[in-house]
Amino acid sequence: MIKTAKFGWITLVLVTVLFLSSCTGTQTADSEVASSPTESTPADTTSQTESTNTDLPILEGRATVELSVNGSAVVIEVNGEQAPITAGNFVDLVQRGVYDGTVFHRVVRQPEPFVVQGGDPLSKDPNIPTQQLGTGSFTDPETGEARYIPLEIKPANAEQPVYSQTFEEAGITDAPELTHTRGAVAMARSQFPDSASAQFYIALADLPFLDGNYAVFGQVIEGMEVVDSIQQGDVIESAEVTEGLDNLKTGN
């Protein structure tokens, strides 16, 4: 995953923190490296991707989402043109109210700025132990089952995204259309490519070593200073689709 020695062991630790982020709730890098990412991942992600892609929400175009955090707004432009399934999943969850009352359970600024991560539906429940935060996914009330989405990354100038594979696995050397610039919004997942569900993260700095490995689907366009001030445990008071909801298509 790491193709240059420039970032060294610090990058390795940070990537590992994100890599296990969907399945661990601990805060230190050492404990996350030792954690097992098996609790919240689907048993067979390949067959799941093939069978559910047509049922997943799709964003045909762009939308704008506003998060309220600590009484201030974070405005995200969601890009369904480059990541239609990932963007559609996020907008659909916002519209359902899934993110209202969830917390940012992971904030990594040391040894260098990395990400703030939230969106775990489990974090709405104050009775859930802190160490379990980061293990949750969205459960579709219609099916009673967790909804996962395929890893979706579009190479620059390509007609279609690559699904269910990192660029390295697919043998792609081009940069993605959407990269991990500061303020990029992307989906957290475990080591299984198709294990993203509800948890997302916002990049606190340019993170090019994540490009081609995680699905970026949006960008903070207002309120990055609010993101910079987020602390672990801060609550997403509300999340609202303010523009582009008519671009969301659900079902078949």
User: Looking at the domain assignment, is residue 17 inside a domain?
Assistant: yes
Beta strands at 115-118 and 72-79: parallel, antiparallel or unpaired: unpaired
Task: Check residue 54 and give its pLDDT.
Answer: 62
What are the φ/ψ torsions at residue 90 (nearest 5 degrees)? -65, -50
DSSP assignment letter at 154: P
What contacts 247, CB < 8 A, 6 or more positions away? 59, 60, 61, 62, 63, 80
Task: Check residue 251 and give its pLDDT.
Answer: 72
User: Looking at the domain assignment, is residue 143 inside a domain?
Assistant: yes
159-190 pLDDT, tens per residue? 999 999 999 999 999 999 999 999 999 999 99
Output the average pLDDT for the chain: 84
Q: What is the CA radius of gyration of the chain?
A: 16
Res. 98: pLDDT tops 60: yes
**Average pLDDT rounded to a whole number, residues 8-35:** 39
User: Looking at the domain assignment, is residue 168 inside a domain?
Assistant: yes
Count up the domains in the chain and report the number.
1
Pairwise CA distance, residues 150 & 162, whole Å: 10
DSSP assignment letter at 252: -
Pairwise CA distance, residues 49 & 195, whole Å: 10
Pairwise CA distance, residues 194 & 214, whole Å: 10
Task: Check residue 53 and give its pLDDT.
Answer: 59
CATH number at residue 184: 2.40.100.10
User: Looking at the domain assignment, is residue 250 inside a domain?
Assistant: no
DSSP bridge pairs for 200? 118, 187
* Confidence (pTM): 0.83
Task: Check residue 131 and give its pLDDT.
Answer: 87
Res. 6: pLDDT tops 70: no
Q: Taking a C-beta distance cutoff of 8 angstroms, is the pair 102, 124 a contact?
A: yes
User: Looking at the domain assignment, is residue 190 inside a domain?
Assistant: yes
Confidence of residue 130 (pLDDT cuts 50, 70, 90): confident
Domain with 37 in it: 8-245
Res. 46: pLDDT tops 80: no
**Average pLDDT rounded to a whole number, residues 108-116:** 96
User: Looking at the domain assignment, is residue 70 inside a domain?
Assistant: yes
**Average pLDDT rounded to a whole number, residues 103-118:** 97
Nearest Cα residue to 31 out of 106, 102, 104, 103: 106
In the chain the first and final C-alpha atoms are separated, in Å, by 35
